[in-house]
Amino acid sequence: MKPSTALRATIAVVAALDLGACNMLNRLSEIGDEPKITDIQNPTTQPSYQPVTMPMPAPVIAERQPSSLWRPGARAFLKDQRASNVGDVVTVVINVNESAQISNETKSGRSSEERADATNFLGFESKLSKVLPSAVDPTSLVHTDSTSANDGSGSVNRSEQVTLSVAATITQVLPNGNLVVQGRQEMRVNYEVRNLQVAGVIRPQDISATNTIPFDQIAEARLSYAGHGQISDKQQPRYGEQIFDVLFPF
């Protein structure tokens, strides 16, 4: 192992042990207490927040008419109660019911045999018998035989169903009028916290009159539904097993 590779491996092990120690201390400090729910914060100030950049059409210059009752950019004469500005809230209805089945099987086989003799090769065959009298047989000088077979199969049977609703906040209005939404919901049941996150780009006209939008009408949709707590900890391998799986090459 090269020194640079050994150094990187050592740093990775030390970082993993340090992370495991921090997690262990946090878990020890929370023994007997319910999992804590994070405070409500501005999503645009989070370290992981990234403004969305999308391809935009050419801007259209609106002409103002002093005597017109129609305001440029308005979608109706009456005030629209649907979410349209940064900070407005829109409800995302999540109804994911997907299934997939894939089955593949491949078989291949090959058998080959090669033979060669040199009973008379310019007289050198007699020399070989003198050098190696018991190992050389001119009538069967080369004999190769090979057989190979391959049988591979694979199958996928996946079924997912998620039915939830989460209120998301508009964090950005794109130049073409589309809205960037991000929402997060946490729910604690006994000693388990469930965390639901949704993000993506929506069109204002897809928002219904009840200020809701289906999940399948969100572009670049990102949905995360996970949890942490006592049940999730039981489903995770120990830190030593995780480090061993990363470092063990076989």
Q: Quick one: CA torsion of 85, 87, 91, 94, rounded to 10 degrees?
A: 100
Residues spanned by the domain of 142: 102-155
**pLDDT computed for residue 117 by the predictor:** 65
Please check whether residue 66 lies inside any domain of the structure.
no
Nearest to 141 by CA among 154, 128, 123, 158: 128
**pLDDT computed for residue 13 by the predictor:** 62
**pLDDT computed for residue 20 by the predictor:** 61
* CA–CA separation, 86 and 171 (whole Å): 5
In this structure, the answer to whether residues 37 and 108 fall within a common structural domain is no
Please check whether residue 65 lies inside any domain of the structure.
no
Residue 88's identity, in one-letter code, is D
In this structure, the answer to whether residues 94 and 185 fall within a common structural domain is yes
In this structure, the answer to whether residues 92 and 40 fall within a common structural domain is yes
Answer whether 0.95 is exceeded by the pTM: no
In this structure, the answer to whether residues 80 and 188 fall within a common structural domain is yes
Mean pLDDT by 10 residues, the chain (250 residues): 61 62 70 74 84 75 68 60 87 86 79 67 62 61 70 77 88 92 89 90 93 93 85 76 74
In this structure, the answer to whether residues 92 and 107 fall within a common structural domain is no
Please check whether residue 63 lies inside any domain of the structure.
no
Please check whether residue 11 lies inside any domain of the structure.
yes
**pLDDT computed for residue 39 by the predictor:** 80
* CA–CA separation, 250 and 32 (whole Å): 40
Q: Cβ contacts of residue 119 below 8 Å, gap of 6+?
A: 125, 138, 139
**pLDDT computed for residue 1 by the predictor:** 46
In this structure, the answer to whether residues 24 and 119 fall within a common structural domain is no
**Diameter over CA atoms, the chain:** 118
Nearest to 167 by CA among 223, 84, 93: 93
The structure tokens listed for 1 are 């192992």
In this structure, the answer to whether residues 125 and 176 fall within a common structural domain is no
